[in-house]
Amino acid sequence: MQQQQQKKYNSSSNTPINTPPIEETLRGFEWFTYMRANSPVVYDQQLNIWHVFRYDDVYQVITDHHTFSSADVPNFSQNNFLKDTIVAQDPPDHRRLRQLTNQAFTRRAIISMTESIRQLTQELLDQLIPLGTMDIVSDLAFPLTCNLIAAMLEIPIQDRRLVYRWVKGVDSNTPLLSREDVIKSHNRMGQELYDYIAHILEKRRREPCEGFISALSTAMSNNAGLSDDELLKFCVLLLVAGQETVQNLITNAIYCFTKYPQSRDHLLQQPEHMPEAIEEILRYLPPFWVTVRRTTVDAVVGGKSIPANMIINAWNASANHDGQYFADPEHFDIRRDAKRHLSFGHGIHFCLGAPLARMEANIILPMLCKQLKNFRRIPDRSPDITAGPLHQILSLPIMFEA
């Protein structure tokens, strides 16, 4: 069975690939392939939600914001700090917030991050390279992306450890026994971050600088009707939206490169292909698998009627593997044109941080490919990947020439 699957995944590739064993990652994709073919739009009675799997249907759900609302959806609605943010709003509030935040995410502000990204990556590499092995998640992707978001939020170096706590969303002294405990803990950490950024905002009003907080603060003072509360909650959202996603992108890239080392070698020879390779990594193994919406009226998706006020899981990860849009979708091919992937969403909520995330990956990945010489998996130490269709690599041990 496993051999047959391996053949299927690679049968139409032009280049011979060293087929790795079917791993946890592919299990979610096998489910998606099955669902796209057999139940592309389906009601899950147990959870009382709908699932949508095909590209066209996912695209419809995430793009038609009149019919599919982002307000009052699970995940955000129980978090005191996220429920009123841009990602959980519909127009007209969404439009107002997006205009404001666009003023901080300018090309100039993003480019001003270049040096910090390079420097923070190099600092970590200098510590790790002599060791010859590392866990790409806990040793590199997690601390690096925490430090990057901290730099963006103008959090001084001595306080960066606080960011690790906020990002994990848990106070490590308190055991989390139930879902309610987890929600309470997230809210407590959100409050700490909120209060902390409030101090930075106060300071930036007195002494403006080039960073995002100053840009947001200036945008606010130019726009009547926007509150400090909105700005502070937006910063909490940035930490949630901008850390784990990039951590996953970096980790997933290394996962793909260890699985298909010839792609890494190709990029070492032709580094100018890195931007397309990043799009293929985003398509093949998205950092963020599912987008949630609520129907505002009775709707029809893929020929199926969905009543009003239903929660829909629109599986971006499945859309990215839809053969209607991506030929031989289970084949990882850094030379394909993957730009139509839905990993950054689409429509009015299209990821505000996409240019930043792409720039971060375009700086960090070449540094890792070049400096972690011949990096590869450690035999007998498999990656730890979350079970089920919601995929996240929690641990990925690698070795390289020190």
Is residue 163 within the footprint of ligand HEM (CB under 6 A)? no
Is residue 86 within the footprint of ligand HEM (CB under 6 A)? yes
CA angle 142, 318, 302 (to 5 degrees): 145
Give the integer Cα–Cα distance in Å for 101 and 299.
31
Q: Which stretch binds ligand HEM (CB under 6 A): 4-12, 175-183, 214-222, 342-350?
A: 342-350
**In 3D, which of 351, 155, 163 has the Cα closest to residue 239?**
163
Give 44: exposed, middle or buried? Use CB within 10 Å, 0-12, 13-18, 19+. exposed
Structure tokens at 146: 């925490």
Is residue 352 within the footprint of ligand HEM (CB under 6 A)? yes
Q: Minimum distance between the CB of residue 70 and ligand HEM, rounded to whole angstroms?
A: 6
Q: Minimum distance between the CB of residue 230 and ligand HEM, rounded to whole angstroms?
A: 12
Q: Minimum distance between the CB of residue 210 and ligand HEM, rounded to whole angstroms?
A: 16
CA angle 69, 75, 81 (to 5 degrees): 95
Alpha helix (H) residue ranges in 64-178: 93-102, 107-111, 114-128, 142-152, 160-168
Alpha helix (H) residue ranges in 260-382: 261-269, 274-284, 316-319, 354-371
- Measured from the CB atom, is 28 or 345 closer to ligand HEM? 345
**# of chain residues touching ligand HEM (CB under 6 A):** 24
In angstroms, how far is CA 224 from the centroid of its own chain? Answer: 32
Could you say which of 351, 364, 368, 372 contacts ligand HEM (CB under 6 A)?
A: 351
Residues within window 173-192 making contact with ligand HEM, judged by CB under 6 A:
none
Residues within window 200-259 making contact with ligand HEM, judged by CB under 6 A:
237-238, 241-242, 245-246, 249
Is residue 62 within the footprint of ligand HEM (CB under 6 A)? yes
Question: For residue 64, what are the contacts with CB-CB under 8 A and spacing of at least 6?
Answer: 347
Q: Minimum distance between the CB of residue 62 and ligand HEM, rounded to whole angstroms?
A: 5
Q: Which stretch binds ligand HEM (CB under 6 A): 113-121, 162-170, 338-346, 363-371?
A: 338-346
Is residue 70 within the footprint of ligand HEM (CB under 6 A)? yes
- Measured from the CB atom, is 147 or 291 closer to ligand HEM? 291
- Measured from the CB atom, is 134 or 238 closer to ligand HEM? 238
Give the integer Cα–Cα distance in Å for 264 and 280.
13
Buried (b) or exposed (e) across 174-194, using 16+ Cβ within 10 A? eebeeeeeeeebbeebbeebb
**In 3D, which of 91, 73, 62, 75 has the Cα closest to residue 301?**
62
Interface mask toward ligand HEM for 97-116; x: CB under 6 A = -x------------------
- Measured from the CB atom, is 120 or 352 closer to ligand HEM? 352
Is residue 357 within the footprint of ligand HEM (CB under 6 A)? yes
Give the integer Cα–Cα distance in Å for 402 and 182.
40
Q: Minimum distance between the CB of residue 151 and ligand HEM, rounded to whole angstroms?
A: 11
Structure tokens at 20: 């790795």
Q: Minimum distance between the CB of residue 123 and ligand HEM, rounded to whole angstroms?
A: 20
Contacting residues toward ligand HEM, per CB under 6 A: 62, 70, 86-87, 98, 237-238, 241-242, 245-246, 249, 287-288, 291, 343-345, 349, 351-353, 356-357
